[in-house]
Amino acid sequence: MPTALITGATAGIGAAFARRLAKDGLDLVLVARDGGRLDESADVLGKQYGVGVETLVADLATDEGIAVVEARLGDAGKPVDLLVNNAGFGLKDPFLVVPLADELAMVKLHIEAVLRLTTAALPGMRERGRGYVINVASVAAFVPRGTYGASKAWVVQFSQSVSRDLTGSGVRVLALCPGFTHTEFHQRAQVDMKDVGGWMWLDADRVVDDAMRDLARGRTVSIPSGRYKALVAAARKAPLEALAGLSSRAGRRLDRR
């Protein structure tokens, strides 16, 4: 049976991926920092969908945590067919107010972990002639917005570049770029979102459905919902100065989980 490995799998978009892929009949490898929540998720998904569920406790903002997941992805005896790099976090305060250690942890998680886990997964996928990688970015990738937006812009560029390099291999790579999504993301970052209009919010399960549809179509970037497609198209045409002002007025809120 095909197997999917999902990071940040116990909440938000990661949990939505776990539900969707279990429903589709894939066995799961769930990765998160909280062992208790992992065990609870594994129990629920296994009973509800009748799939095998493995758990890995790992903090992907550390070398040790990344190494644990790298080893699992490199296990030829238990191949992973779909990797979802979803783990991430936001920062409440602007650059130069946020401690440097927190900025570096974000770079470690959003960039180094994505790079290393994708690198660990791809050789086996290419050898088997099939496989999929979904790297969860954000619409923040398309506007100037500190380390968060910069790291997500890297995810998009990296995913598109790797996808091009894998042309004809049977392996697909997708960057998923949602906007505001109903999850625990902003609560964890302690960001007040009460001023964000209801029309801007997305449902995590819908985000995942859009991502899976775009992956099947062979796209390299998925922007869920027509409203965000339009916003990103406008952002790409707007002057840099206007985008910087918009990002500042939004209070560093263009986050996705």
Calpha distance 132→126 (Å, rounded): 10
Calpha distance 202→116 (Å, rounded): 29
The answer to whether residue 132 is catalytic is no
* Number of residues in the chain: 257
Q: Determine the angle formed by the axes of helices 113-128 and 63-73, rounding to 10 degrees.
A: 10
Calpha distance 245→231 (Å, rounded): 15
Whether 116 contacts 63, CB under 8 Å = no
Whether 99 contacts 52, CB under 8 Å = no
Catalytic residue among 49, 132, 148, 228: 148
* Residue carrying the six token digits 């305060």: 93
Enumerate the active-site residues: 148
